[in-house]
Structure 1
Protein backbone atom coordinates (compact mmCIF):
# COMPACT_ATOMS: atom_id res chain seq x y z
CA UNK A 1 0.00 0.00 0.00
CA UNK A 2 2.85 2.34 0.91
CA UNK A 3 4.59 1.56 -2.38
CA UNK A 4 1.37 2.36 -4.26
CA UNK A 5 1.05 5.73 -2.52
CA UNK A 6 4.71 6.50 -3.25
CA UNK A 7 4.22 5.63 -6.91
CA UNK A 8 1.14 7.88 -7.10
CA UNK A 9 3.04 10.76 -5.47
CA UNK A 10 5.88 10.28 -7.95
CA UNK A 11 3.51 10.38 -10.91
CA UNK A 12 1.82 13.49 -9.50
CA UNK A 13 5.19 15.21 -9.10
CA UNK A 14 6.16 14.35 -12.67
CA UNK A 15 3.02 16.09 -13.95
CA UNK A 16 3.53 19.09 -11.65
CA UNK A 17 7.17 19.77 -12.53
CA UNK A 18 6.54 21.24 -16.04
CA UNK A 19 3.82 23.57 -14.74
CA UNK A 20 5.98 24.59 -11.77
CA UNK A 21 8.95 25.22 -14.06
CA UNK A 22 6.87 27.46 -16.35
CA UNK A 23 5.37 29.30 -13.36
CA UNK A 24 8.85 29.86 -11.93
CA UNK A 25 10.21 31.05 -15.27
CA UNK A 26 7.39 33.45 -16.16
CA UNK A 27 6.07 34.58 -12.75
CA UNK A 28 8.40 33.98 -9.81
CA UNK A 29 11.67 34.87 -11.56
CA UNK A 30 10.38 38.13 -13.12
CA UNK A 31 8.82 39.13 -9.78
CA UNK A 32 12.08 38.62 -7.92
CA UNK A 33 13.98 40.40 -10.70
CA UNK A 34 11.56 43.36 -10.51
CA UNK A 35 11.93 43.50 -6.74
CA UNK A 36 15.70 43.84 -7.18
CA UNK A 37 15.49 46.39 -10.02
CA UNK A 38 13.21 48.60 -7.93
CA UNK A 39 16.26 49.37 -5.77
CA UNK A 40 18.39 50.45 -8.74
CA UNK A 41 18.72 53.36 -11.14
CA UNK A 42 18.82 51.15 -14.24
CA UNK A 43 17.78 52.87 -17.48
CA UNK A 44 16.59 49.69 -19.20
CA UNK A 45 19.32 49.82 -21.86
CA UNK A 46 22.71 49.94 -20.21
CA UNK A 47 24.44 46.81 -18.93
CA UNK A 48 25.45 48.66 -15.77
CA UNK A 49 22.98 48.55 -12.91
CA UNK A 50 23.56 50.87 -9.94
CA UNK A 51 22.07 49.89 -6.60
CA UNK A 52 20.60 52.99 -4.89
CA UNK A 53 18.65 51.48 -2.02
CA UNK A 54 15.32 53.09 -1.14
CA UNK A 55 15.89 56.27 -3.21
CA UNK A 56 13.22 55.32 -5.77
CA UNK A 57 10.64 54.72 -3.04
CA UNK A 58 11.58 58.00 -1.33
CA UNK A 59 11.02 59.80 -4.63
CA UNK A 60 7.67 58.08 -5.04
CA UNK A 61 6.66 59.18 -1.54
CA UNK A 62 7.61 62.82 -2.19
CA UNK A 63 6.42 63.10 -5.82
CA UNK A 64 3.46 65.40 -6.48
CA UNK A 65 2.95 63.67 -9.83
CA UNK A 66 2.63 60.27 -8.13
CA UNK A 67 0.18 61.67 -5.57
CA UNK A 68 -1.94 63.06 -8.38
CA UNK A 69 -1.82 59.72 -10.21
CA UNK A 70 -2.76 57.89 -6.99
CA UNK A 71 -5.74 60.23 -6.53
CA UNK A 72 -6.86 59.67 -10.13
CA UNK A 73 -6.43 55.91 -9.74
CA UNK A 74 -8.47 55.71 -6.54
CA UNK A 75 -11.25 57.96 -7.88
CA UNK A 76 -11.43 56.04 -11.13
CA UNK A 77 -11.43 52.68 -9.31
CA UNK A 78 -14.11 53.63 -6.77
CA UNK A 79 -16.46 55.05 -9.42
CA UNK A 80 -15.89 52.21 -11.88
CA UNK A 81 -16.56 49.48 -9.31
CA UNK A 82 -19.89 51.09 -8.43
CA UNK A 83 -21.01 51.97 -11.96
CA UNK A 84 -19.86 48.75 -13.64
CA UNK A 85 -21.64 46.59 -11.08
CA UNK A 86 -24.79 48.73 -11.09
CA UNK A 87 -24.95 48.65 -14.90
CA UNK A 88 -24.20 44.91 -14.98
CA UNK A 89 -26.97 44.09 -12.48
CA UNK A 90 -29.45 46.25 -14.41
CA UNK A 91 -28.53 44.58 -17.71
CA UNK A 92 -28.67 41.11 -16.15
CA UNK A 93 -32.13 41.71 -14.72
CA UNK A 94 -33.30 43.16 -18.01
CA UNK A 95 -32.01 40.22 -20.05
CA UNK A 96 -33.34 37.74 -17.48
CA UNK A 97 -36.86 39.11 -17.98
CA UNK A 98 -36.72 38.89 -21.78
CA UNK A 99 -38.59 35.92 -23.17
CA UNK A 100 -37.92 36.58 -26.87
CA UNK A 101 -34.46 36.72 -28.48
CA UNK A 102 -32.73 36.48 -25.09
CA UNK A 103 -29.49 35.19 -26.63
CA UNK A 104 -29.49 38.11 -29.07
CA UNK A 105 -29.62 40.65 -26.23
CA UNK A 106 -26.91 38.79 -24.34
CA UNK A 107 -24.68 38.94 -27.41
CA UNK A 108 -25.36 42.63 -28.03
CA UNK A 109 -24.55 43.62 -24.44
CA UNK A 110 -21.51 41.35 -24.32
CA UNK A 111 -20.05 42.49 -27.66
CA UNK A 112 -18.06 45.48 -26.27
CA UNK A 113 -16.16 43.07 -24.01
CA UNK A 114 -14.72 41.38 -27.09
CA UNK A 115 -13.10 44.62 -28.25
CA UNK A 116 -9.55 45.22 -27.10
CA UNK A 117 -8.91 48.28 -24.96
CA UNK A 118 -7.03 49.86 -27.86
CA UNK A 119 -9.91 49.43 -30.32
CA UNK A 120 -12.41 50.65 -27.74
CA UNK A 121 -10.23 53.70 -27.11
CA UNK A 122 -10.15 54.59 -30.81
CA UNK A 123 -13.92 54.15 -31.10
CA UNK A 124 -14.60 56.49 -28.20
CA UNK A 125 -11.97 58.97 -29.38
CA UNK A 126 -13.96 59.31 -32.61
CA UNK A 127 -17.26 59.60 -30.72
CA UNK A 128 -15.96 62.26 -28.30
CA UNK A 129 -13.78 64.31 -30.66
CA UNK A 130 -14.59 68.01 -30.32
CA UNK A 131 -14.52 68.91 -34.01
CA UNK A 132 -16.05 65.91 -35.77
CA UNK A 133 -17.14 63.64 -32.93
CA UNK A 134 -20.51 61.92 -33.10
CA UNK A 135 -21.61 63.22 -29.69
CA UNK A 136 -21.04 66.91 -30.44
CA UNK A 137 -22.61 66.58 -33.89
CA UNK A 138 -25.65 64.93 -32.31
CA UNK A 139 -25.95 67.77 -29.79
CA UNK A 140 -25.87 70.27 -32.68
CA UNK A 141 -28.47 68.26 -34.55
CA UNK A 142 -31.00 68.30 -31.69
CA UNK A 143 -30.44 71.96 -30.88
CA UNK A 144 -28.27 71.49 -27.79
CA UNK A 145 -25.07 72.89 -29.27
CA UNK A 146 -24.47 74.90 -26.10
CA UNK A 147 -23.70 71.62 -24.32
CA UNK A 148 -20.84 70.77 -26.66
CA UNK A 149 -17.52 70.27 -24.90
CA UNK A 150 -13.98 69.11 -25.50
CA UNK A 151 -14.70 65.80 -23.77
CA UNK A 152 -11.14 64.47 -23.96
CA UNK A 153 -9.22 67.76 -23.97
CA UNK A 154 -10.76 69.31 -20.86
CA UNK A 155 -9.52 68.38 -17.36
CA UNK A 156 -13.15 68.67 -16.23
CA UNK A 157 -14.49 65.97 -18.55
CA UNK A 158 -11.53 63.77 -19.55
CA UNK A 159 -11.61 61.41 -16.56
CA UNK A 160 -15.42 61.21 -16.73
CA UNK A 161 -15.21 60.27 -20.41
CA UNK A 162 -12.76 57.46 -19.65
CA UNK A 163 -14.98 56.18 -16.84
CA UNK A 164 -18.14 56.09 -18.97
CA UNK A 165 -16.41 54.44 -21.93
CA UNK A 166 -14.90 51.80 -19.63
CA UNK A 167 -18.31 51.05 -18.11
CA UNK A 168 -19.66 50.60 -21.65
CA UNK A 169 -16.91 48.08 -22.39
CA UNK A 170 -16.86 46.10 -19.14
CA UNK A 171 -20.48 45.95 -17.94
CA UNK A 172 -21.36 43.11 -20.32
CA UNK A 173 -18.69 40.88 -18.80
CA UNK A 174 -20.05 41.22 -15.28
CA UNK A 175 -23.59 40.92 -16.64
CA UNK A 176 -22.88 37.28 -17.52
CA UNK A 177 -21.80 36.52 -13.94
CA UNK A 178 -24.89 38.21 -12.50
CA UNK A 179 -27.10 36.35 -14.97
CA UNK A 180 -25.74 33.07 -13.62
CA UNK A 181 -26.50 34.29 -10.11
CA UNK A 182 -30.05 35.34 -11.04
CA UNK A 183 -30.78 31.97 -12.58
CA UNK A 184 -29.76 30.33 -9.31
CA UNK A 185 -32.42 32.20 -7.31
CA UNK A 186 -35.49 30.00 -6.68
CA UNK A 187 -38.49 31.37 -8.53
CA UNK A 188 -40.70 30.42 -5.59
CA UNK A 189 -39.20 33.14 -3.44
CA UNK A 190 -40.11 36.00 -5.78
CA UNK A 191 -43.52 34.48 -6.47
CA UNK A 192 -44.25 34.24 -2.73
CA UNK A 193 -43.10 37.84 -2.23
CA UNK A 194 -45.35 39.00 -5.09
CA UNK A 195 -48.32 37.18 -3.54
CA UNK A 196 -47.59 38.93 -0.24
CA UNK A 197 -47.82 42.27 -2.03
CA UNK A 198 -44.13 43.09 -2.42
CA UNK A 199 -43.37 45.39 -5.37
CA UNK A 200 -40.47 44.96 -7.77
CA UNK A 201 -38.18 47.21 -5.74
CA UNK A 202 -38.98 45.38 -2.50
CA UNK A 203 -38.37 42.04 -4.19
CA UNK A 204 -35.02 43.25 -5.48
CA UNK A 205 -33.95 44.77 -2.14
CA UNK A 206 -35.05 41.89 0.07
CA UNK A 207 -34.55 38.84 -2.13
CA UNK A 208 -32.63 39.35 -5.37
CA UNK A 209 -29.79 41.59 -4.21
CA UNK A 210 -28.99 39.62 -1.00
CA UNK A 211 -28.91 36.35 -2.97
CA UNK A 212 -26.51 37.91 -5.48
CA UNK A 213 -23.93 38.42 -2.71
CA UNK A 214 -21.57 35.78 -4.11
CA UNK A 215 -21.73 37.23 -7.62
CA UNK A 216 -21.24 40.73 -6.19
CA UNK A 217 -18.06 39.62 -4.41
CA UNK A 218 -16.57 38.13 -7.57
CA UNK A 219 -17.54 41.05 -9.82
CA UNK A 220 -16.44 43.73 -7.35
CA UNK A 221 -13.00 42.19 -6.91
CA UNK A 222 -12.50 41.68 -10.66
CA UNK A 223 -13.71 45.21 -11.37
CA UNK A 224 -11.44 46.70 -8.71
CA UNK A 225 -8.33 44.91 -9.99
CA UNK A 226 -9.12 45.80 -13.60
CA UNK A 227 -9.68 49.47 -12.68
CA UNK A 228 -6.45 49.76 -10.72
CA UNK A 229 -4.56 48.40 -13.74
CA UNK A 230 -6.37 50.43 -16.42
CA UNK A 231 -4.01 51.46 -19.19
CA UNK A 232 -5.20 50.94 -22.79
CA UNK A 233 -8.05 53.44 -22.72
CA UNK A 234 -5.89 56.18 -21.21
CA UNK A 235 -3.02 55.54 -23.63
CA UNK A 236 -5.29 55.89 -26.66
CA UNK A 237 -7.85 58.46 -25.55
CA UNK A 238 -5.90 61.05 -23.53
CA UNK A 239 -2.24 59.98 -23.22
CA UNK A 240 -2.54 60.86 -19.54
CA UNK A 241 -3.64 64.41 -20.29
CA UNK A 242 -4.69 67.09 -20.53
CA UNK A 243 -1.67 67.86 -18.38
CA UNK A 244 -1.74 65.04 -15.84
CA UNK A 245 -5.54 65.03 -15.40
CA UNK A 246 -5.99 61.35 -16.35
CA UNK A 247 -2.60 59.95 -15.47
CA UNK A 248 -2.83 56.83 -13.29
CA UNK A 249 -0.24 54.73 -11.48
CA UNK A 250 -0.15 52.17 -14.29
CA UNK A 251 0.36 54.88 -16.87
CA UNK A 252 3.21 56.43 -14.87
CA UNK A 253 4.93 53.03 -14.79
CA UNK A 254 4.81 52.97 -18.60
CA UNK A 255 5.73 56.61 -19.18
CA UNK A 256 8.61 56.65 -16.71
CA UNK A 257 9.95 53.19 -17.51
CA UNK A 258 9.80 53.34 -21.31
CA UNK A 259 9.34 57.03 -22.14
CA UNK A 260 11.89 58.47 -19.73
CA UNK A 261 14.14 55.37 -19.63
CA UNK A 262 13.94 55.10 -15.86
CA UNK A 263 13.29 51.40 -15.51
CA UNK A 264 14.41 51.34 -11.89
CA UNK A 265 11.91 53.99 -10.84
CA UNK A 266 9.20 52.51 -13.05
CA UNK A 267 9.73 49.08 -11.50
CA UNK A 268 9.53 50.60 -8.02
CA UNK A 269 6.20 52.15 -9.03
CA UNK A 270 5.04 48.75 -10.28
CA UNK A 271 5.92 47.18 -6.94
CA UNK A 272 3.97 49.88 -5.11
CA UNK A 273 0.99 49.28 -7.40
CA UNK A 274 1.24 45.54 -6.76
CA UNK A 275 1.15 46.07 -3.00
CA UNK A 276 -1.75 48.52 -3.35
CA UNK A 277 -3.79 46.01 -5.37
CA UNK A 278 -2.95 43.24 -2.90
CA UNK A 279 -3.96 45.27 0.17
CA UNK A 280 -7.20 46.58 -1.35
CA UNK A 281 -8.14 43.12 -2.66
CA UNK A 282 -7.62 41.46 0.73
CA UNK A 283 -9.68 44.14 2.50
CA UNK A 284 -12.44 44.06 -0.13
CA UNK A 285 -12.74 40.26 -0.12
CA UNK A 286 -12.80 40.18 3.68
CA UNK A 287 -15.58 42.77 3.88
CA UNK A 288 -17.67 41.22 1.11
CA UNK A 289 -17.28 37.70 2.50
CA UNK A 290 -18.37 38.98 5.89
CA UNK A 291 -21.44 40.49 4.23
CA UNK A 292 -22.23 37.15 2.57
CA UNK A 293 -22.14 35.39 5.95
CA UNK A 294 -24.38 38.04 7.52
CA UNK A 295 -26.90 37.66 4.72
Structure 2
Protein backbone atom coordinates (compact mmCIF):
# COMPACT_ATOMS: atom_id res chain seq x y z
CA UNK A 1 0.00 0.00 0.00
CA UNK A 2 2.81 2.37 0.87
CA UNK A 3 4.42 1.81 -2.54
CA UNK A 4 1.12 2.52 -4.31
CA UNK A 5 0.66 5.75 -2.36
CA UNK A 6 4.22 6.77 -3.13
CA UNK A 7 3.78 6.09 -6.83
CA UNK A 8 0.51 8.02 -6.87
CA UNK A 9 2.05 10.98 -5.07
CA UNK A 10 5.00 10.99 -7.46
CA UNK A 11 2.67 10.90 -10.49
CA UNK A 12 0.62 13.78 -9.10
CA UNK A 13 3.78 15.81 -8.44
CA UNK A 14 5.00 15.23 -12.00
CA UNK A 15 1.57 16.16 -13.41
CA UNK A 16 1.50 19.37 -11.36
CA UNK A 17 5.03 20.27 -12.49
CA UNK A 18 4.13 19.58 -16.12
CA UNK A 19 0.97 21.70 -15.82
CA UNK A 20 2.93 24.54 -14.22
CA UNK A 21 5.52 24.38 -17.01
CA UNK A 22 2.78 24.43 -19.65
CA UNK A 23 1.10 27.42 -17.99
CA UNK A 24 4.40 29.31 -17.97
CA UNK A 25 4.76 28.69 -21.71
CA UNK A 26 1.12 29.76 -22.28
CA UNK A 27 1.71 33.07 -20.48
CA UNK A 28 4.52 33.93 -22.91
CA UNK A 29 2.22 33.25 -25.88
CA UNK A 30 -0.60 35.37 -24.41
CA UNK A 31 1.58 38.22 -23.14
CA UNK A 32 2.16 40.13 -26.45
CA UNK A 33 -1.56 40.22 -27.26
CA UNK A 34 -2.44 41.15 -23.70
CA UNK A 35 0.05 44.05 -23.72
CA UNK A 36 -1.36 45.40 -26.99
CA UNK A 37 -4.94 44.98 -25.75
CA UNK A 38 -4.06 46.79 -22.52
CA UNK A 39 -2.37 49.68 -24.36
CA UNK A 40 -5.06 50.23 -26.97
CA UNK A 41 -8.28 49.15 -25.19
CA UNK A 42 -8.07 48.82 -21.41
CA UNK A 43 -5.93 51.88 -20.72
CA UNK A 44 -7.88 54.26 -23.03
CA UNK A 45 -11.15 53.02 -21.52
CA UNK A 46 -9.99 53.64 -17.95
CA UNK A 47 -8.47 56.97 -18.96
CA UNK A 48 -11.85 58.01 -20.40
CA UNK A 49 -13.38 57.93 -16.92
CA UNK A 50 -10.60 60.21 -15.74
CA UNK A 51 -10.94 62.69 -18.63
CA UNK A 52 -14.74 62.88 -18.39
CA UNK A 53 -14.36 64.87 -15.17
CA UNK A 54 -12.04 67.47 -16.75
CA UNK A 55 -12.26 70.41 -19.12
CA UNK A 56 -9.31 69.21 -21.23
CA UNK A 57 -9.21 70.60 -24.77
CA UNK A 58 -7.29 67.66 -26.22
CA UNK A 59 -4.18 69.72 -27.00
CA UNK A 60 -2.75 71.45 -23.94
CA UNK A 61 -1.04 69.72 -21.03
CA UNK A 62 -3.18 71.65 -18.57
CA UNK A 63 -5.96 69.36 -17.33
CA UNK A 64 -8.42 71.00 -14.96
CA UNK A 65 -10.89 68.95 -12.95
CA UNK A 66 -14.46 70.22 -13.00
CA UNK A 67 -16.27 67.36 -11.29
CA UNK A 68 -19.68 66.49 -12.70
CA UNK A 69 -20.05 69.71 -14.74
CA UNK A 70 -19.81 67.87 -18.07
CA UNK A 71 -22.64 65.54 -17.12
CA UNK A 72 -24.73 68.42 -15.76
CA UNK A 73 -24.29 70.29 -19.05
CA UNK A 74 -25.52 67.20 -20.92
CA UNK A 75 -28.73 67.11 -18.89
CA UNK A 76 -29.56 70.68 -19.94
CA UNK A 77 -28.37 70.50 -23.58
CA UNK A 78 -31.06 70.52 -26.25
CA UNK A 79 -28.38 69.52 -28.75
CA UNK A 80 -27.69 66.30 -26.82
CA UNK A 81 -31.41 65.51 -26.57
CA UNK A 82 -31.76 66.10 -30.32
CA UNK A 83 -28.80 63.76 -30.97
CA UNK A 84 -30.37 61.15 -28.68
CA UNK A 85 -33.68 61.45 -30.56
CA UNK A 86 -31.92 61.03 -33.92
CA UNK A 87 -29.97 58.05 -32.58
CA UNK A 88 -33.15 56.32 -31.41
CA UNK A 89 -34.95 57.02 -34.70
CA UNK A 90 -32.02 55.65 -36.70
CA UNK A 91 -31.67 52.62 -34.44
CA UNK A 92 -35.32 51.55 -34.58
CA UNK A 93 -35.61 52.25 -38.32
CA UNK A 94 -32.41 50.41 -39.24
CA UNK A 95 -33.13 47.39 -37.04
CA UNK A 96 -36.58 46.97 -38.58
CA UNK A 97 -35.74 47.76 -42.21
CA UNK A 98 -32.35 46.01 -42.41
CA UNK A 99 -33.75 42.79 -40.99
CA UNK A 100 -36.88 42.85 -43.17
CA UNK A 101 -34.86 43.48 -46.33
CA UNK A 102 -32.19 40.96 -45.31
CA UNK A 103 -34.77 38.24 -44.61
CA UNK A 104 -36.53 38.94 -47.91
CA UNK A 105 -33.24 38.74 -49.83
CA UNK A 106 -32.24 35.54 -48.02
CA UNK A 107 -35.54 33.85 -48.87
CA UNK A 108 -35.24 35.04 -52.45
CA UNK A 109 -31.69 33.72 -52.86
CA UNK A 110 -32.60 30.47 -51.09
CA UNK A 111 -35.30 29.81 -53.70
CA UNK A 112 -33.07 30.52 -56.70
CA UNK A 113 -31.93 27.39 -58.54
CA UNK A 114 -29.54 28.92 -61.06
CA UNK A 115 -26.66 31.36 -60.37
CA UNK A 116 -27.31 31.29 -56.60
CA UNK A 117 -23.72 32.30 -55.79
CA UNK A 118 -23.93 35.17 -58.27
CA UNK A 119 -26.99 36.62 -56.55
CA UNK A 120 -25.36 36.20 -53.15
CA UNK A 121 -22.33 38.13 -54.37
CA UNK A 122 -24.44 40.92 -55.89
CA UNK A 123 -26.47 41.44 -52.71
CA UNK A 124 -23.40 41.17 -50.49
CA UNK A 125 -21.23 43.53 -52.58
CA UNK A 126 -22.34 46.78 -50.82
CA UNK A 127 -21.07 45.37 -47.51
CA UNK A 128 -17.54 45.28 -48.94
CA UNK A 129 -17.54 49.00 -49.71
CA UNK A 130 -16.09 51.30 -47.07
CA UNK A 131 -18.53 53.64 -45.37
CA UNK A 132 -16.69 56.66 -46.79
CA UNK A 133 -16.86 55.47 -50.40
CA UNK A 134 -20.49 54.45 -50.04
CA UNK A 135 -21.32 57.82 -48.48
CA UNK A 136 -19.78 59.72 -51.41
CA UNK A 137 -21.64 57.57 -53.94
CA UNK A 138 -25.03 58.13 -52.30
CA UNK A 139 -24.31 61.83 -51.73
CA UNK A 140 -23.98 62.14 -55.52
CA UNK A 141 -27.14 60.08 -56.08
CA UNK A 142 -29.14 62.30 -53.71
CA UNK A 143 -27.68 65.60 -54.97
CA UNK A 144 -30.49 68.04 -55.78
CA UNK A 145 -28.86 69.63 -58.85
CA UNK A 146 -27.09 66.80 -60.68
CA UNK A 147 -27.97 63.67 -58.73
CA UNK A 148 -29.26 60.52 -60.42
CA UNK A 149 -32.72 60.83 -58.88
CA UNK A 150 -33.11 64.50 -59.85
CA UNK A 151 -31.82 63.88 -63.38
CA UNK A 152 -34.24 60.97 -63.83
CA UNK A 153 -37.22 63.06 -62.67
CA UNK A 154 -36.21 65.89 -65.02
CA UNK A 155 -35.98 63.52 -67.99
CA UNK A 156 -39.46 62.08 -67.45
CA UNK A 157 -41.01 65.51 -66.92
CA UNK A 158 -41.50 65.27 -63.15
CA UNK A 159 -38.94 67.85 -62.12
CA UNK A 160 -41.43 69.43 -59.71
CA UNK A 161 -41.20 66.30 -57.56
CA UNK A 162 -37.47 66.71 -56.92
CA UNK A 163 -36.48 66.67 -53.25
CA UNK A 164 -33.40 68.19 -51.70
CA UNK A 165 -32.66 65.01 -49.76
CA UNK A 166 -29.49 66.17 -48.03
CA UNK A 167 -30.38 69.86 -47.69
CA UNK A 168 -33.85 69.49 -46.20
CA UNK A 169 -33.99 68.67 -42.44
CA UNK A 170 -37.17 66.65 -43.02
CA UNK A 171 -35.52 64.25 -45.49
CA UNK A 172 -31.81 64.15 -44.54
CA UNK A 173 -32.28 61.47 -41.89
CA UNK A 174 -34.37 59.39 -44.30
CA UNK A 175 -31.53 59.56 -46.84
CA UNK A 176 -29.10 58.27 -44.19
CA UNK A 177 -31.48 55.39 -43.38
CA UNK A 178 -31.89 54.42 -47.05
CA UNK A 179 -28.12 54.47 -47.58
CA UNK A 180 -27.38 52.37 -44.49
CA UNK A 181 -30.07 49.79 -45.31
CA UNK A 182 -28.61 49.42 -48.82
CA UNK A 183 -25.13 48.86 -47.40
CA UNK A 184 -25.92 46.65 -44.40
CA UNK A 185 -28.73 44.35 -45.52
CA UNK A 186 -26.41 42.01 -47.45
CA UNK A 187 -24.46 41.22 -44.30
CA UNK A 188 -27.55 40.13 -42.36
CA UNK A 189 -28.80 38.30 -45.46
CA UNK A 190 -25.90 35.85 -45.07
CA UNK A 191 -26.88 35.17 -41.45
CA UNK A 192 -30.51 34.53 -42.39
CA UNK A 193 -29.45 32.44 -45.37
CA UNK A 194 -27.40 30.19 -43.07
CA UNK A 195 -30.46 29.85 -40.85
CA UNK A 196 -32.72 28.99 -43.78
CA UNK A 197 -30.36 26.32 -45.03
CA UNK A 198 -30.38 24.77 -41.57
CA UNK A 199 -34.14 24.16 -41.70
CA UNK A 200 -34.91 20.53 -42.72
CA UNK A 201 -36.76 20.54 -46.08
CA UNK A 202 -38.91 17.66 -44.80
CA UNK A 203 -40.81 20.11 -42.62
CA UNK A 204 -41.92 22.20 -45.60
CA UNK A 205 -42.73 19.07 -47.60
CA UNK A 206 -44.92 17.72 -44.79
CA UNK A 207 -46.63 21.10 -44.43
CA UNK A 208 -47.33 21.21 -48.19
CA UNK A 209 -48.85 17.76 -48.09
CA UNK A 210 -51.09 18.92 -45.24
CA UNK A 211 -52.27 21.82 -47.41
CA UNK A 212 -50.30 24.69 -45.80
CA UNK A 213 -49.65 27.65 -48.09
CA UNK A 214 -46.45 29.69 -48.35
CA UNK A 215 -47.52 32.21 -45.72
CA UNK A 216 -48.55 29.49 -43.27
CA UNK A 217 -45.24 27.68 -43.80
CA UNK A 218 -43.32 30.90 -43.20
CA UNK A 219 -45.33 31.78 -40.10
CA UNK A 220 -45.30 28.38 -38.41
CA UNK A 221 -42.03 26.84 -39.66
CA UNK A 222 -39.54 29.31 -41.15
CA UNK A 223 -40.03 32.26 -38.80
CA UNK A 224 -39.83 30.27 -35.52
CA UNK A 225 -36.79 28.28 -36.65
CA UNK A 226 -34.98 31.51 -37.60
CA UNK A 227 -35.14 32.77 -34.01
CA UNK A 228 -31.39 32.24 -33.44
CA UNK A 229 -30.37 34.00 -36.64
CA UNK A 230 -32.80 36.80 -35.89
CA UNK A 231 -31.32 37.31 -32.41
CA UNK A 232 -27.82 37.71 -33.83
CA UNK A 233 -28.94 39.98 -36.70
CA UNK A 234 -31.05 42.27 -34.52
CA UNK A 235 -28.27 42.65 -31.96
CA UNK A 236 -25.63 43.43 -34.57
CA UNK A 237 -27.85 45.87 -36.46
CA UNK A 238 -28.80 47.67 -33.24
CA UNK A 239 -25.18 48.07 -32.13
CA UNK A 240 -24.20 49.20 -35.64
CA UNK A 241 -27.02 51.75 -35.70
CA UNK A 242 -26.04 53.18 -32.32
CA UNK A 243 -22.45 53.64 -33.57
CA UNK A 244 -23.25 54.97 -37.06
CA UNK A 245 -20.71 57.57 -38.16
CA UNK A 246 -19.27 57.27 -41.70
CA UNK A 247 -22.45 57.98 -43.64
CA UNK A 248 -23.26 61.06 -41.58
CA UNK A 249 -19.71 62.43 -41.78
CA UNK A 250 -19.58 62.19 -45.57
CA UNK A 251 -23.18 62.93 -46.57
CA UNK A 252 -24.44 65.62 -44.17
CA UNK A 253 -21.76 66.43 -41.57
CA UNK A 254 -24.54 66.28 -39.00
CA UNK A 255 -26.65 68.83 -40.86
CA UNK A 256 -28.54 70.59 -42.14
CA UNK A 257 -28.30 72.32 -38.78
CA UNK A 258 -28.30 69.42 -36.33
CA UNK A 259 -30.90 67.35 -38.19
CA UNK A 260 -28.72 64.23 -38.59
CA UNK A 261 -26.42 64.62 -35.62
CA UNK A 262 -26.30 61.43 -33.51
CA UNK A 263 -24.61 60.68 -30.18
CA UNK A 264 -21.61 59.15 -31.96
CA UNK A 265 -21.24 62.13 -34.26
CA UNK A 266 -21.68 64.72 -31.53
CA UNK A 267 -18.82 63.04 -29.63
CA UNK A 268 -16.60 63.58 -32.67
CA UNK A 269 -17.79 67.14 -33.33
CA UNK A 270 -17.42 68.25 -29.72
CA UNK A 271 -14.15 66.45 -29.04
CA UNK A 272 -12.25 67.24 -32.24
CA UNK A 273 -14.18 70.08 -33.88
CA UNK A 274 -14.79 72.21 -30.80
CA UNK A 275 -11.70 71.00 -28.88
CA UNK A 276 -13.69 69.90 -25.83
CA UNK A 277 -12.22 66.46 -25.23
CA UNK A 278 -13.42 66.33 -21.63
CA UNK A 279 -17.03 66.92 -22.61
CA UNK A 280 -16.72 64.62 -25.62
CA UNK A 281 -15.34 61.84 -23.42
CA UNK A 282 -18.24 62.25 -21.01
CA UNK A 283 -20.64 61.92 -23.95
CA UNK A 284 -18.83 58.78 -25.13
CA UNK A 285 -19.28 57.22 -21.68
CA UNK A 286 -23.01 57.93 -21.85
CA UNK A 287 -23.10 56.31 -25.30
CA UNK A 288 -21.21 53.29 -23.94
CA UNK A 289 -23.71 52.87 -21.10
CA UNK A 290 -26.62 53.27 -23.54
CA UNK A 291 -25.26 50.57 -25.87
CA UNK A 292 -24.60 48.27 -22.91
CA UNK A 293 -28.13 48.67 -21.51
CA UNK A 294 -29.80 48.25 -24.89
CA UNK A 295 -27.69 45.16 -25.67
CA UNK A 296 -28.49 43.51 -22.33
CA UNK A 297 -32.22 44.17 -22.69
CA UNK A 298 -32.14 42.93 -26.26
CA UNK A 299 -30.34 39.71 -25.38
CA UNK A 300 -32.74 38.98 -22.54
CA UNK A 301 -35.87 39.60 -24.63
CA UNK A 302 -34.64 37.77 -27.73
CA UNK A 303 -33.37 34.77 -25.78
CA UNK A 304 -36.72 34.57 -24.04
CA UNK A 305 -38.40 34.66 -27.45
CA UNK A 306 -36.17 31.83 -28.69
CA UNK A 307 -37.19 29.65 -25.73
CA UNK A 308 -40.90 30.39 -26.28
CA UNK A 309 -40.62 29.45 -29.96
Same fold (TM over 0.5): yes
What corresponds to 1:146 in structure 2?
160
- Between structure 1 and structure 2, the one with the greater Rg is 2
- Please show how residues 253-272 of structure 1 align to structure 2 within 5 Å: 253-272=267-286
Match of 1:278 among 289, 292, 296: 292
Equivalent-residue separation in structure 2 for 1:122 and 1:85 (angstroms): 24
- What is the rounded CA distance, in whole Å, between the counterparts of 1:161 and 1:262 in structure 2? 29
Q: Any residues of structure 2 matched to 1:150-189 within 5 Å, and which?
A: 150-189=164-203
Give 1:88's aligned residue: 102
State the Cα deviation string for residues 154-196 of structure 1 (Å, max 9, x = none). Answer: 1111101100110000000111111111110000011111111
Cα displacement (A) at 1:145? 2.6
Structure 1: distance between partners of 2:202 and 2:223: 16
CA drift at 1:251: 0.7
Deviation at 1:285, TM superposition (A): 0.7
Regions of 4+ moved over 3 Å: none
Compute the displacement of 1:8 (Å).
Answer: 2.3
Quick one: distance in 2 between partners of 1:135 and 1:194? 44
Q: In structure 2, what is the Cα distance between the partners aligned to 1:117 and 1:14?
A: 38
Match of 1:116 in 2: 130
Report the secondary structure of 1:50's partner residue: coil
Question: Following TM superposition, by how much is the alpha carbon of 1:99 offset from its aligned partner in structure 2, in angstroms?
Answer: 0.8
1:194 aligns with 2:232: no
Distance in 1 (alpha carbons) for counterparts of 2:224 and 2:19: 45
Normalising by the residue count of structure 2, what TM-score does the alignment of the two structures yield?
0.94
The residue aligned with 1:22 is 36
Distance 2:158 2:191 in 1: 38
1:29-62 deviation line (CA, Å, top 9, x unaligned): 0101111111100001101000111100111111
**C-alpha displacement at 1:3, in angstroms?**
1.6
Q: How far is 1:146 from its partner?
A: 2.9
Structure 1: where are the runs of 5+ without partners?
none
1:143 positional shift: 3.5
Task: Give, in whole Å, the separation in 1 of the partners of 2:63 and 2:130.
Answer: 36
1:247 pairs with one of 235, 256, 261: 261
Measured after TM superposition, the shift of residue 144 of structure 1 is 3.0
Shift of 1:21: 1.4
- C-alpha distance in 2, partners of 1:243/1:185? 49
Root-mean-square deviation (CA), in Å?
Answer: 0.9
1:81-120 residue CA offsets vs partner (Å, 9 max, x unmatched): 0000000000000001111111110110011001111111
Q: Secondary structure at the match of 1:52?
A: coil
Aligned equivalents of 1:180, 1:129: Cα separation in 2: 37
**Which of 110, 130, 145 is residue 144 of structure 2 equivalent to?**
130
Per the normalisation by structure 1, the TM-score is 0.98
Of the structure 1 ranges 9-18 and 86-95, higher mean CA displacement relative to structure 2 is found in 9-18
